[in-house]
């Protein structure tokens, strides 16, 4: 799938399920007011349950993109989009590539810097052993 097709698929799923911005940011158990600007009816009459059953953002995207019925207890349900296409979409549209590459390169540099660092000498430790045989000689002298 192309990036445009993935974007269209997500938007179509959002429209089909009548998901609002407040569903996206609201808690799973929270009542949602889909039209907070509407002052003709009281808020308690407009309120409804959140459209999502998932708690985290990734669970909510899985719920939108899964094939068939969403099961929150299934760790990797089959999706309508391949993981490769989703990663490409994320890389092309959702992140600042320069910052991600810079952070990855810094991590790689730090890793190899630690590998090349000369081994540290162990700090001298105080002798913490006790010689009980020597103590018995002291007790007899006293």
Helix, coil or strand: residue 61? helix
pTM greater than 0.75:
no
Query: How sure is the predictor about 90, in pLDDT bands with cuts at 50, 70 and 90?
Result: very high
CB 92 within 8 A of CB 3: yes
- Phi-psi map region of 18: left, alpha, beta (phi>0 left; psi -120 to 50 alpha): left
Tell me what pLDDT residue 72 has.
Answer: 81
- The per-residue pLDDT for 141 is 60
Question: Looking at the DSSP assignment, which residues form a beta bridge with residue 48?
Answer: 32
pLDDT tens digits, 56-66: 888 889 989 99
Hey, where are the domains in the chain?
Answer: 3-116
DSSP assignment letter at 66: B
* Token couple for 122: 């162990």
């Amino acid at each position: 799938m192309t990036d445009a097709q993935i974007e269209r698929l997500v938007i179509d799923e959002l429209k089909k399920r009548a998901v609002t911005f407040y569903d996206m940011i609201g808690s799973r158990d929270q009542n949602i007011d889909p039209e907070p600007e509407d002052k003709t009816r009281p808020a308690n009459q407009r309120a409804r349950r959140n459209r999502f059953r998932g708690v985290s953002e990734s669970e909510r995207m899985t719920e939108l993109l899964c094939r068939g019925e969403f099961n929150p207890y299934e760790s990797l349900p089959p999706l309508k989009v391949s993981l490769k296409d989703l990663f490409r979409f994320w890389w092309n549209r959702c992140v600042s590539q320069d910052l991600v590459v810079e952070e990855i390169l810094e991590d790689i540099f730090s890793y190899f810097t630690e590998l090349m660092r000369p081994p540290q000498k162990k700090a001298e430790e105080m002798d913490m052993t006790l010689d009980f045989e020597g103590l018995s000689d002291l007790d007899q002298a006293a």
